[in-house]
Structure 1
Amino acid sequence: MKKLILATVALAVVSGCVSRAPQMDAQFGHAVLQARSQQTLDAQAASKASAPLGMDGKTAHSAYEQYQKSYRAPEPQPQAFTIGIGSSAGGK
C-alpha cells in the first residue's frame, strides 16, 4: 500500500512538469505575412525575364578590374603640407 501511495505522489509531481501544447490564436502569423507582402515591391519579378538596368558585362568587368588594381598598387598621394613652400612671396 505504501508503494502505491508513493507511486501516485511521484506520478502527480512528474505530471506537473509536463508542458501542454500552446493554444494559438486563429490570426497567429498573419501580421508577419502582411508585413512581408507590404515590403515586397514586385511579387512577380522572378517570372519576368528582363535584363537588369546598368552596364554591360565588358564594362562591368573592366570597372571591377580597375577597382582591384587600385588596391594592388595605389596611386601615391600628394603631401598635404606643401602649401606655400618653394614659392616666391612678394616678387623680390
Structure 2
Amino acid sequence: MFIIRTTTVALVCLLGASCSHVTPNYDARFGDAVRDAKRKMTINPEAGKTNDPAAGMDGRAAREAMNQYHESYKSPPPAVNVINIGGGIGNQSGGGSGK
C-alpha cells in the first residue's frame, strides 16, 4: 500500500511539473531580436510618406542602372555549375574516362 501511494504521488508530481511553463521570460520577448534588427536596418522609416528622390543617384547613374537591369533580362548570364561534377572548368568531355 505504501509503494502504491508513493508511486501515485510521484507520478502526480511528475505530471504536474511537466505541464508547467518553464520559459515565460523567453516567450514574453520572443521575436524582439528580429524586430530590433529590422528597425536598425531601416535607414528612413518615413521614406514612403515623402516624394523625395533617392539620395546619391544622379541622372546618369540611375539611367545606367536601369539599362543594366533591363539588359540582364534580355541576355542573362550563363548558369554556373557550382558543384562541378565530372571534370574541371571548361572540360566538355564529361569526365576523365579516357575513351
Normalised to the residue count of structure 1, the TM-score between the two structures is: 0.34
Normalised to the residue count of structure 2, the TM-score between the two structures is: 0.32
The structure number with the bigger radius of gyration is 1
Q: Answer 1 or 2: which has greater helix percent.
A: 2
- The answer to which structure, 1 or 2, has the higher relative contact order (CA under 8 A, 6+ apart) is 2
